[in-house]
């Protein structure tokens, strides 16, 4: 696309007062008040998808029929006087890495083309129970491996702010769908930053909950010890509502923790951070960070000070090793997790000519079914776990992981939350880094430490750099997810007030 | 060995033993008798239609996650405790990575360097000698599915046209019990598996049916030269691992064959290859499994989908306190209390009647009578019916009552069998059957004497032979009397009476 739209007052999205512009909270309130039906809200989202998704390519599968049926059910039960949940009737885009009955699950990979899971992920069953309307499945880097959604076997998704640029990844479809007003809410998953980085470059709020806070049952694993599903939304309150809907202990996931869900919705509305101690991570700045990103970040931190927070600089010396440790642990787990894609029970099958043995069919299917980045990581991980190399690679990386957790623990002795830029740069052009994996990996420099240590983290729109959104990352200790929403809610309100409107209002119309 | 000898000519077993000392270690997989699988809620019943006991978890579908079955952990700890192991206060599961179509995830959830139970032992007795077998470890894992290779001659993959996989077995909880290389003979190897099987059966944590694969044994065998007097032991030789031995007899035969085979190779100056081998029961020989050029690298790493297993001390202590009487202790007690011999106990156990005999004694029978009735009459009836003695519709209390009546002379053995017939036919208790069928020993000498006289009168030639001293010829007369008495007489008494009448006693 050569002639992409640029933001202007006349073509701005804010100029259209459309149902799809409503936040999730406003949509739900309108439905609850009878001012808007769930079917109208859903149809509006479907219409918007029909209008813009050929440009954005966020959706891999649109389940119009299922969405409208769910919406009708909400309307009928509301009419019957049933008390419905706080997100009843609100449309949502689901990352195609979570299983849902009645829809395909591809994980952005050829190897799963046409596979329909016979069961719902726990996140999905909770969404259904909350009467959230599932619009369909959205695009992603294959098996969540990537930072640009260019690794999808089904073609890249484009950033609604600038359709020549990447929407981030791996939850690029989720972010683009919300930023393009195709859905007010989306579920993403975050293994090394895959919710927060797309949220940052699409001007959204994205949260990686505490590891163990949201069930992974039905989340097709990339790296089991790091993966976590979470919300993408246009506001902190919307993210909190979605977070509250999906979080909580699940007996089907042994790593899900049986503790009360932090009061995230309440925290999002408190808007008072006086006396809160905020630590700026010294190591997450400097070389490699776009100056514009630094400017926006610094301004956001100054706003926190203005809101009464006590801002100090803290050092987390081992964060420097987070990226290499991550690129040993995640590929190691991936090499094992992805072994099951072998053509025997589901998905793609190549080379079954009646002559080839099972091993050959497995091999030919995996050769044809996996893209280059997935193969690269399987090979990396297989190597790192090999006898004789395990201690030097996987074992050493686990030690680094422990040290990073200790850095966090020490920092949280001194401060309540940590902050950093979410990404070193704004969205880069499509194709800019596809041939340079390491440059691509650096997109997750700031987000990876929270995955390794397990704590929650949020990306919040900090501002624009040359018309492109950048984010500020807020990090909290494990199970203190509410602090993200406390800080995020206050900062969002202040930043919106400074610029006189929400950041997304500056997004170009499509 | 002459170089002209064909390669198949193995040295005799005795020759092999004279020159080499076998070093044997055993790895035993036991399917735990839990209601549901190791990591999901699917049932574990044996023999269901293929692929009917499966779910996203045990099929390894994308997104599915394992959850540890508490009962499986409990059973594994019980086995560890009964084998005198240390129970880890903290341990983890690990992934063992390798590709095979019957393994849904292409990794097996197992344990690697942090097993649940370590460092135990089991004593086994062979010909009056006790051998202590060290237990290296007991760890938990999930079973694989079962491949069925179709179109080949032997059911092996070689030559098959296609394969079918049944995932019902995938995810069934297993423990693997690994011994130290302490075993020195095929007989001890067999006895170890036998004793282990009995121990696990006593714990009631598995049905340990080798023929159904719920207990499977792999035998690691190596040889080393017997040292000359005064020499230190030679280092261990290279071992072969013979997989999936599915009967006690196969364990012994396979180990014995391997000893001869390896001795033959060593005699010829050849090396023993470290390899897995299969035992062909029909041929009585082992053959190499599919050889791999390189050692398999399983790339073990801690299973990230499961949290570590941290068993409270109290949990383990409670299980320890709740263990049933173990087979060795029970044997000692039964020998002391009931006067049984080791051989008696082996016979009773092999017949599957040891518990029943003990209960029968408890219900009032003498140990000798209880043993006799269960081991002979009732075990045979169960076998005839194709069932187990346990399944017979007669209780130890019934048998105890019958033995008491026999002892008091109110029943003969023959009548007792008819009483058993009646009880098994559902006619009630032994006393009800006796009343209903009119089965009591006829103590009326008049009727008996008349029958004896009639029998003698009917067969004068036989009577003459007996009078002439051919005492053994009396049999047909005894039969005639018993027939006339409709069995309600004691055959020994009848015989005595006949001999007395004929002046031959």
Q: Which residues of B touch A225 (CB under 8 A)?
A: 304
Q: Which of B36, B39, B63, B297 to mutate to test the interface with A (most CBs of A within 10 A)?
A: B63
Q: Tokens at residue A14, please?
A: 């804010």
**Residue A79: pLDDT over 50:** yes
Would you place residue B470 in the very low, low, confident or very high pLDDT band (cuts 50, 70, 90)? confident
Considering only A12-26, A177-191, B112-126, which range has the smallest mean pLDDT?
A12-26
Tell me the nearest-neighbour CA distance from A469 into chain B, angstroms: 33
Q: What is the pLDDT of residue A17?
A: 56
The answer to whether A99 contacts chain B (CB < 8 Å) is: yes
The answer to whether B192 contacts chain A (CB < 8 Å) is: no
User: Is A466 part of a structural domain of the chain?
Assistant: yes
Q: What is the average per-residue pLDDT within B405-427?
A: 90
Q: Which residues of A touch B299 (CB under 8 A)?
A: 335-336, 382, 385-387, 390
Q: What is the pLDDT of residues B86-138, one digit of tens each?
A: 999 999 999 999 999 999 999 999 999 999 999 999 999 998 899 999 999 99
Q: How far apart are CA B138 and CA B135, in angstroms?
A: 8
Q: Which residues of A touch B104 (CB under 8 A)?
A: 340, 345
Q: What is the average per-residue pLDDT within B373-378?
A: 93
Q: What is the pLDDT of residue A10?
A: 37
Residues 379-398 of A with CB under 8 A from B: 382, 385-387, 390, 394
User: Is A435 part of a structural domain of the chain?
Assistant: yes
Q: What is the pLDDT of residue A286?
A: 86
Q: State the catalytic residues of A.
A: 95, 170, 194
Q: What is the pLDDT of residue A12?
A: 39
* Number of domains comprising chain A: 1
Q: What is the pLDDT of residue B442?
A: 67
Look up the domain containing A466 and give its range.
59-67+91-319+401-503
Q: Which residues of A touch B68 (CB under 8 A)?
A: 254
Q: What is the pLDDT of residue A1?
A: 38
User: Is A14 part of a structural domain of the chain?
Assistant: no
User: Across the interface, which of A219, A225, A386 has its CB nearest the CB of B304?
Assistant: A225
The answer to whether B72 contacts chain A (CB < 8 Å) is: no
Q: How far is CA A340 from CA A221, A227, B164, B307, B438, in A?
A: 11, 18, 17, 21, 71
Q: What is the pLDDT of residue B6?
A: 45
Residue B96: closest CA among chain A residues belongs to which residue? A336
Q: How many CB atoms lie within 10 A of CB B160?
A: 18
The answer to whether B491 contacts chain A (CB < 8 Å) is: no
The answer to whether A219 contacts chain B (CB < 8 Å) is: yes
What is the side-by-side strand order in the sheet with B301-302? B107-110, B94-97, B301-302
User: Is A406 part of a structural domain of the chain?
Assistant: yes
State percent of chain A over pLDDT 70: 97
Three-class SS of residue B124?
strand
Judge: A119–B56 Cβ closer than 8 Å, yes or no. Answer: yes
Q: Which of B201, B438, B428 is nearest to B324 (CA)?
A: B201
Q: Which of A180, A171, A177, A235 is nearest to A198 (CA)?
A: A171
Q: How far apart are CA B306 and CA B319, in angstroms?
A: 23
Q: What are the sequence ranges of the domains in chain B?
A: 13-298, 336-410, 445-501
Phi, psi angles (nearest 5°) of residue A311: -100, 130
Q: How far apart are CA A420 and CA A476, in angstroms?
A: 12
The answer to whether B310 contacts chain A (CB < 8 Å) is: no
Q: What is the pLDDT of residue B157?
A: 72
Tell me the nearest-neighbour CA distance from B292 into chain A, angstroms: 14
User: Across the interface, which of A112, A252, A336 has its CB nearest the CB of B97?
Assistant: A336
Question: In three state form, how does the secondary structure of B259-316 look?
Answer: HHHHHHHHHCCCCCCCEEEEEECCCCEEEECCCCCCCCCCCCEECCCCCCECCCHHHH
CATH number of A159's domain: 3.90.1300.10
Tell me the nearest-neighbour CA distance from B307 into chain A, angstroms: 6
Q: A194-198, A437-441, B347-351, B488-492 — which one is most confidently predicted on average?
A: A194-198
Mean pLDDT of chain B: 91
User: Is A129 part of a structural domain of the chain?
Assistant: yes
pTM attached to this predicted model: 0.88
User: Is A231 part of a structural domain of the chain?
Assistant: yes
Q: How far is CA A176 from CA A140, A160, A354, A498, in A?
A: 10, 6, 44, 25
Q: How far apart are CA A107 and CA A143, in angstroms?
A: 5
Give this complex's ipTM: 0.94
Tell me the nearest-neighbour CA distance from B139 into chain A, angstroms: 20
Q: pLDDT higher for B464 or A282?
A: A282
User: Is A50 part of a structural domain of the chain?
Assistant: no
Considering only A16-20, A137-141, A328-332, B36-40, which range has the smallest mean pLDDT?
A16-20
End-to-end CA distance of chain A: give it in Å, rounded. Answer: 13
Q: What is the pLDDT of residues B236-258, one digit of tens each?
A: 999 999 999 999 999 999 999 99
Fold of the domain spanning B445-501: Arc Repressor Mutant, subunit A (1.10.10)
Q: What is the average per-residue pLDDT within A240-250?
A: 98
- Do A148 and A373 meet the contact criterion of CB atoms below 8 Å apart? no
Residues 240-299 of B with CB under 8 A from A: 297, 299
User: Across the interface, which of A105, A255, A394 has its CB nearest the CB of B301?
Assistant: A394
Q: What is the average per-residue pLDDT within B278-289?
A: 92
């Amino acid at each position: 696309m050569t002639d992409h739209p640029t933001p202007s007052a006349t073509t701005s999205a804010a100029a259209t007062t459309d149902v799809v512009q409503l936040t999730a909270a406003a949509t739900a309130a309108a439905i609850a008040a009878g001012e808007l039906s769930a079917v109208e809200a859903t149809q509006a989202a479907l219409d918007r998808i029909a209008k813009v998704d050929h440009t954005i390519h966020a959706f891999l599968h649109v389940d119009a029929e299922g969405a409208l049926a769910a919406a009708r059910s909400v309307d009928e039960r509301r009419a019957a006087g049933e008390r419905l949940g706080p997100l009843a009737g609100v449309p949502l885009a689901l990352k195609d890495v979570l299983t849902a009955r009645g829809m395909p699950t591809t994980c952005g990979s050829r190897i799963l083309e046409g596979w329909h899971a016979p069961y719902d992920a726990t996140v999905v069953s909770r969404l259904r129970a909350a009467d959230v309307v599932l619009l369909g499945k959205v695009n992603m880097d294959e098996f969540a491996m990537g930072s640009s959604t260019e690794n999808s076997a089904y073609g890249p998704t484009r950033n609604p702010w600038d359709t020549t640029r990447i929407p981030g990844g791996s939850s690029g479809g989720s972010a683009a769908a919300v930023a393009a007003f195709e859905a007010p809410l989306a579920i993403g998953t975050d293994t090394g930053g895959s919710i927060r980085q797309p949220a940052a470059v699409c001007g959204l709020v994205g949260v990686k909950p505490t590891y163990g806070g949201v069930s992974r049952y039905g989340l097709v694993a990339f790296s089991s010890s790091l993966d976590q599903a979470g919300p993408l939304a246009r506001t902190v309150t919307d993210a909190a509502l979605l977070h509250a809907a999906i979080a909580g202990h699940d007996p089907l996931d042994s790593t899900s923790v049986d503790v009360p869900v932090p009061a995230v919705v309440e925290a999002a509305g408190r808007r008072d951070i006086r006396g809160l101690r905020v630590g700026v991570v010294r190591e997450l700045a400097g070389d490699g960070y776009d100056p514009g990103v630094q400017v926006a970040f610094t301004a956001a931190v100054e706003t926190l000070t203005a809101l009464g927070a006590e801002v100090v600089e803290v050092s987390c010396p081992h964060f420097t090793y987070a990226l290499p440790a991550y690129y040993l642990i995640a590929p190691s787990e991936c090499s094992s997790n992805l072994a099951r894609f072998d053509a025997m029970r589901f998905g793609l099958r190549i080379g079954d000519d009646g002559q080839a043995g099972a091993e050959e069919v497995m091999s030919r299917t995996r050769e044809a079914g996996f893209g280059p980045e997935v193969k690269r990581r399987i090979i990396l991980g297989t190597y790192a776990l090999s006898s004789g190399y395990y201690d030097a690679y996987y074992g050493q990386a686990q030690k680094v992981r422990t040290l990073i957790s200790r850095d966090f623990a020490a920092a949280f002795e001194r401060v309540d939350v940590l902050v950093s830029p979410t990404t070193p740069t704004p969205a880069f052009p499509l194709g800019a880094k596809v041939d340079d994996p390491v440059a691509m990996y650096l997109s997750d420099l700031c987000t990876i430490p929270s995955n390794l240590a397990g704590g929650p983290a949020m990306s919040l729109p900090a501002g624009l750099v040359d018309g492109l959104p950048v984010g500020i990352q807020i990090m909290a200790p494990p199970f203190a997810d509410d602090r993200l929403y406390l800080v995020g809610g206050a900062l969002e309100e202040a930043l919106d007030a400074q610029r006189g409107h929400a950041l997304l209002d500056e997004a170009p119309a499509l | 060995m002459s170089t002209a000898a064909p390669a198949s000519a193995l040295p005799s077993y005795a020759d092999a033993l004279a020159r080499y000392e076998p070093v044997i270690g055993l790895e035993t997989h036991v399917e735990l008798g839990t209601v549901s699988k190791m990591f999901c809620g699917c049932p574990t019943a044996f023999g269901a239609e293929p692929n009917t006991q499966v779910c996203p978890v045990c099929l390894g579908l994308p997104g599915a996650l394992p959850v540890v079955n508490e009962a499986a952990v409990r059973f594994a700890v019980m086995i560890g405790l009964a084998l005198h192991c240390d129970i880890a206060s903290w341990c983890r599961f690990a992934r063992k990575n390798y590709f095979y179509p019957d393994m849904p995830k292409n990794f097996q959830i197992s344990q690697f360097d942090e097993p649940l139970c370590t460092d135990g032992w089991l004593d086994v007795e062979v010909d009056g000698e006790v051998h202590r077998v060290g237990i290296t470890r007991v760890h938990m894992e999930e079973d694989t599915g079962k491949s069925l290779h179709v179109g080949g001659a032997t059911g092996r993959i070689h030559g098959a046209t296609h394969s079918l996989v049944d995932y019902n077995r995938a995810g069934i909880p297993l423990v693997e019990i690994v011994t130290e290389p302490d075993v020195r003979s095929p007989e001890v190897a067999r006895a170890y598996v036998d004793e282990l099987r009995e121990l696990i059966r006593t714990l009631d944590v598995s049905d340990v049916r080798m023929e159904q694969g719920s207990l499977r044994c792999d035998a690691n065998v190596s040889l080393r030269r017997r040292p000359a007097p005064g020499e230190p032991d030679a280092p261990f030789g290279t071992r072969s691992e013979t997989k999936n031995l599915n009967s006690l007899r196969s364990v012994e035969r396979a180990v014995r064959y391997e000893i001869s085979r390896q001795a033959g190779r060593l005699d010829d100056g050849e090396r023993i290859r470290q390899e897995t081998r299969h035992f062909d029961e029909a041929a009585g020989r082992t053959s190499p499994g599919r050889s791999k050029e390189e050692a398999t690298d399983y790339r073990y790493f801690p299973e990230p989908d499961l949290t570590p297993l941290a068993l409270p001390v109290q949990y383990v202590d409670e299980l320890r306190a709740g263990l049933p009487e173990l087979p060795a202790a029970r044997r000692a007690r039964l020998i002391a209390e009931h006067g049984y011999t080791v051989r008696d106990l082996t016979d009773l156990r092999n017949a599957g009647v040891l518990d029943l005999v003990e209960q029968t004694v408890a219900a009032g029978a003498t140990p000798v009578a209880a043993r006799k009735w269960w081991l002979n009459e009732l075990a045979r009836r169960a076998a005839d019916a194709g069932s187990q003695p346990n399944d017979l519709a007669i209780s130890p209390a019934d048998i105890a009552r019958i033995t008491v009546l026999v002892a008091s002379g109110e029943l003969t053995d023959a009548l007792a069998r008819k009483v058993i017939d009646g009880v098994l036919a559902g006619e009630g208790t032994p006393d009800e059957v006796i009343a209903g069928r009119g089965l009591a020993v006829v103590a009326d000498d008049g009727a008996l004497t008349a029958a004896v006289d009639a029998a003698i009168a009917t067969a004068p030639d036989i009577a003459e032979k007996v009078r002439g001293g051919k005492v053994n010829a009396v049999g047909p007369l005894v039969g005639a009397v018993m027939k006339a008495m409709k069995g309600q007489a004691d055959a020994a008494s009848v015989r005595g009476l006949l001999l007395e009448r004929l002046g031959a006693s």
